[in-house]
Amino acid sequence: MINITIIALGKLKESYWKEAEAEYIKRLTPEAKIEIIELKEESFDEKSNKEVIKQKEAEKIKKALEKTKDSYIITLDSTGSELTSTKLAEQISNITMKQYSNITFIVGGPLGLDKSIKEKSNLIFSLSHLTFPHQMVRTILLEQIYRSIMILGGRKYHY
């Protein structure tokens, strides 16, 4: 069984995102242990120094990473390469073959991630060239993790 941790800045506020997340966690439970670590976003406005905000959020992420020792770190970032669902499944397979049983995904907040988090990452990828609300990204990520596991298991979820 694979252990997957998702470190995410911000909480899911709307019930429909919470329900979607719960559904994918339920679907994944037979195949993976999923832990979601929600971190409080820093408040900001137009006058705020966005780099300082990202550095403060990075410190929170680094502290959360201490709980995920020996984990392969995958960061979602708009600057990362795009993967198909099949390629993500291959990446997960390769990671688990390299003696990693723990994978940690990092989802940043509205301002993105500080470079220090990207430097700690083993892999950086983007879900799309499109921009999504970070609450939606959590659901999309869980769906893609589920799809990857179905692909790796040879199940008929992905065509």
The CA-atom distances, in angstroms, between 45 and each of 22, 42, 48, 50, 134 are 32, 10, 5, 9, 18
Q: Can you say how many angstroms the Cα of residue 90 is from the centroid of all Cα atoms in its chain?
A: 17
pTM of structure: 0.93
Instruction: Tell me what pLDDT residue 90 has.
Output: 94
Rounded to whole angstroms, how far apart are CA atoms 97 and 117? 24
Domains located in the chain, CATH noted: 2-152 (3.40.1280.10)
Give pLDDT tens digits along the chain (159 positions): 899 999 999 999 999 999 999 999 999 999 999 999 999 999 998 898 999 999 999 999 999 999 888 899 999 998 899 999 999 999 999 998 888 889 999 999 889 999 999 999 999 999 998 888 888 999 999 999 999 999 999 987 765
Instruction: Tell me what pLDDT residue 159 has.
Output: 58
Mention every residue, 6+ apart, whose C-beta is less than 8 A from residue 90: none
Opening angle at CA 103, ends 99 and 109, nearest 5: 160
